Chains A and B, each alone.
Chain A
Amino acid sequence: MSGIKDFVNRLGMPRLIMSIFLLLLLIMVAIYQLPFSMIVSQSITRSGINMVLALAMVPAIKSGIGMNFGLPLGIICGLIGGLISLEYNITGLLGILAAWLISVPLAIVAGWAYGLLLNKVKGSELMVGTYVGFSVVSLMCIAWLKLPFNNPSLGWAMGDGLRVTITLDEWYDKALNELWAFEVFGVTIPTGLILTCALFCLLVWIYIRSRAGMSLMAGGSNPNFARYNGINPNRTRVVGAILSTIIAALGIIVYAQGFGFYQLYSAPMTMAFPAVAAVLIGGASATKIKISNVVIGTTLFQSILAIASPVAAAIFPEGNLAEVFRVIVSNGIILYALSKFEGGRFK
């Protein structure tokens, strides 16, 4: 009995509940005789394309600004970088690389301003961050109409402005997913995507173990201790905001290439929530996070979503009830994760 209790304590209740839910879905997959290999492939791909976005939470939490609800800010920077790479018709892996390179300087500037703002509203980062995200997305709805992009594939057939969704077929649709991809037992392994995620995780891991990363951590976990040791916690918070924004920008490009589209206008509005929910489920708190929390959390969360869709479609074959069901599951998990996130601590 105590052995079980120990195990549950170590695993954490949220991860246990999510694992059980995942198991139930897998049983449904068996009952409805859905194609198992396709579902596993889907889970891997979804987890991979979302992981870098969730990784953006690491520097934010370490630096003490908490969960970065202002993720859409970084996403917008990534989208601009991506659109510029499309404008100049850079295709394939080179296109992704170009998108990354262009978005980084934008993200540095945006993250710096965001960090300065967060320093002025200490204690309400969560609310302010959320609204920074919302405001920037809304502002960009005008910008998408007015920005001087001339590539006809990006705009509407008639009139001004960029399309709502831009299909990446012509440029780099699934370029990372399909890089060195192979099949085992009918399951597609997106080697390029997995390597990309591993690379970003490694870079962040190296950073948090460096002198700069340790200062960031000290500034976040005890600002007075940091000052006593000659570290300016306001500066490390700005650094945390910049890094988080950069990773979000890189992350949306990874997401878009795997998804196949750049989604503009109001699409980025709520993109912070799945990322926050994933790391919470993975075992992070408002003050503590490890890379393993990101990997485990994203995999659990996105696998459930990937499996819920076909299962729902099998249970409710009529109309778009399946899509409704998927949205309910997705928001239900986010709500569950956030409900456990009280008083700044994840219980």
Chain B
Amino acid sequence: MNSKPVLSFKNIEKSFGDNLVLTGLNFDVHPGEIVSLVGENGSGKSTLMNILFGMDVIRETGGFKGTVQIEGNEVHISSPLEAIEHGIGMVHQEFMLIPGFTVQQNIKLNREPLRKNLFSRLMGKSFDTIDIDAMRRDALRALKRVHTNVTPEDHVALLPVGIKQFVEISREVDKENLKLLVLDEPTAVLTETEAEQLLEAVRSISDEGIAIIFITHRLDEVFAVSDRVVILRDGLLVADEPTNKLTKTQIAEMMVGRPLAESFASVTKRNLLDEDIIFEFRDVSVDMPGEELSHVNLKVRRGEIFGIGGLAGHGKLAVGNAVAGMYPYTGEVYFDGSILNASKIGEALKHDIAFVSEDRKGVGLLLEESVIINITFTDMIQKNHYLKKFGLITQYDHEKARQDAERMIKELEIRCHSPEDPVGRLSGGNQQKVCMARVLIANPKMLFVSEPTRGIDIGAKKLILNRLQKINHESGVTIVMISSELGELRSICDRIAVISGGEMQGILQPDAANADYALMMSGDPSVRQEGGVAR
């Protein structure tokens, strides 16, 4: 492409204190081009986007070096509003929509088509009448451009998660001067079909001549949609190549900076006894808002890695949360042959059952406390480790905790300046590793992990999965892994249960056909099978 670039980054450099997060970054984006921006967590992607949008964080931490050019002219963007004026749009990972408004109100927010009336002639523009018909027409056109059939009068709150993402893109597309659209992990919350639709929409937007920066963790999507890939690693641009010149492995290796072993270690068929049941749900129903589970029976064999898959909002997350005592349940839970009163706080932990919550920030961590305290907390509370005793008085043994925490930091490659840093300052993937470290250090008999790899990069993902496999194989820890990512479940699980609509649909072998999984996840009763020992 020889046209003038829409956007050029020239020698961008940014540091937070002494910590250099972007070093001499140069790249261009041309009209109608889709550029994938990939990199591990903490590689500098978000910082770069914050610079582009003139976010306060950048200015408050001393600004940046280098220049940003839009259509060849140097610009100084000091607020997201200015970025919009320059024709840059952004679709966020979190939904920036007003739930109580209709789709069309959201799309046209603050840009409503107006008509003069008698009153507004006297009182000024704020009193103009909103032209509802024009608003509906514009909204419909924008929705059509992203291939979405939604009624513009619907309330956003009632829409499924996937559709909201499309509404958000429509809003950006509707802006007349849009030249560049940044999509920050737009498919993270979508199902596979929705993700495909979204990629389709992205392609057609770019055909209109709009340049697109596509930030993603999913390498399949990079190949499906982008013309060019820009790879960041530790703030350095390590590659800027046309997509068709690279392979998936090459990209993955450049992201992590070392060669990756071929795929995840494959599951060896093991001798697990069908009679040796360590954990059992008998007719369990869980009242967890948004993830209700009804009348589920399941049996987990001692020493296995048991996967639970299903779509978001269909109840799979309720399994771990019920055992951890976070939500009330009915029915019976058995552990090691005896009944477990899991709704009593701490009861499961007493039996050496540990949890990694899907909600890192809300449940998994003490964000203001140090990495050391976060890693050693469960072990200290449950097993009285890391405590010095003086008669009746106990004191937290910071020195010993620090030593062990440092060992875990090394083993799990947790990136932090110091183990004394508050854990809230680490990036998402590293926070997840801290959550893992917290349960691993306590040597559990059984482990429930919910969405262990959500929103983290490929390097961290691999490390966590390998680690789970390692404690399973070497220490015989029984693991129940609950995840939305089927690929990940199939890479390490012995059996995979599928939950849909709050009900157990059946149990599949990890090598079962894709179609079987898809049908079960859709809750199609024709494929329900009496799989394994589950029913």
Contact = CB atoms under 8 A, between A and B. Distances in A.
Interface of A: 206, 209-212, 214-215, 217-218, 221-222, 224-225, 227-232, 287-288
Contact of A225 (B347, B349, B350, B365): B365
10 contacts: A206-B395, A210-B393, A221-B368, A224-B359, A225-B363, A227-B326, A227-B345, A228-B324, A228-B357, A230-B345
B63 interface: no
A74 to B, nearest CB: 23
B346 A231 contact: yes
A116 B84 CA distance: 51
Contacts of B365: 222, 225
A173 B393 CA distance: 34
Contact of A218 (B325, B362, B366, B395): B366
6 nearest A-B pairs in the assembled complex, by CB-CB distance: A230-B346, A230-B349, A224-B363, A211-B394, A210-B394, A209-B396
A347 to B, nearest CB: 14
A221 B363 contact: no
Contacts of B346: 229-232
A206 B366 CA distance: 21
B396 A221 contact: no
A225 B395 contact: no
A221 B350 CA distance: 23
A174 B453 CA distance: 63
A231 B380 contact: no
Interface string B383-425: 0100100000111100000000000000000000000000000
- Give the secondary structure class of B's interface: mixed
Nearest to A227: B345
Interface string B345-359: 111011000010101
Contact of B366 (A211, A221, A232): A221
Nearest to B362: A224
A123 to B, nearest CB: 17
A224 B362 CA distance: 7
A287 B363 contact: no
Contacts of A221: 366-369
A227 B373 CA distance: 16
A149 B367 CA distance: 52
A301 B395 CA distance: 32
B281 interface: no
A22 B369 CA distance: 33
Given A209-B396, A221-B368, A229-B378, 17 more contacts: A206-B393, A214-B373, A214-B377, A217-B366, A217-B369, A218-B381, A221-B366, A221-B369, A222-B365, A222-B366, A224-B326, A225-B364, A228-B355, A228-B357, A229-B346, A230-B345, A230-B349
Given A221-B368, A222-B365, A229 B394 contact: no
B380 A211 contact: yes
Interface of B: 324-326, 345-347, 349-350, 355, 357, 359, 362-369, 373, 377-378, 380-382, 384, 387, 393-396
A218 B373 CA distance: 10
Given A211-B380, A230-B381, A222 B367 contact: yes
A210 B377 CA distance: 12
Given A211-B381, A215-B381, A222-B367, A227 B325 contact: yes
B326 A228 contact: yes
Contacts of A230: 345-347, 349-350, 381-382
A345 to B, nearest CB: 11
A229 B393 contact: no
Main secondary structure of the interface of A (DSSP, over half): helix
B420 to A, nearest CB: 14
A227 B346 CA distance: 7
A228 B377 contact: no
Given A206-B395, A225-B364, A232 B380 contact: no
B2 to A, nearest CB: 45
Contact of A231 (B345, B350, B393, B395): B345
Contact of B377 (A212, A229, A287): A229
B345 A225 contact: no
A229 B395 contact: no
A209 B388 CA distance: 10
A210 B395 contact: yes
| Listed residue (A209, A212, A214, A225) with the most chain B CB atoms within 10 angstroms of its CB | A225
A287 B382 contact: no
Contacts of B350: 230
B378 A211 contact: no
Nearest to B442: A229
A215 B346 CA distance: 13
Contacts of B362: 222, 224
B62 to A, nearest CB: 10
A229 B364 contact: no
A210 B388 CA distance: 9
A209 B395 contact: yes
Contacts of A212: 394
A206 B392 CA distance: 12
A214 B345 contact: no
Contacts of B347: 230
A1 B362 CA distance: 39
A230 B347 CA distance: 7
A314 B396 CA distance: 52
A287 B367 CA distance: 12
Contact of B381 (A222, A231, A287): A231
A209 B386 CA distance: 11
B363 A214 contact: no
B368 A229 contact: no
Contact of A228 (B364, B367, B393, B394): B364
Nearest to B361: A222
Contacts of A231: 345-346, 381
A227 B348 CA distance: 11
Nearest to B348: A230
A211 B369 CA distance: 15
B349 A229 contact: yes
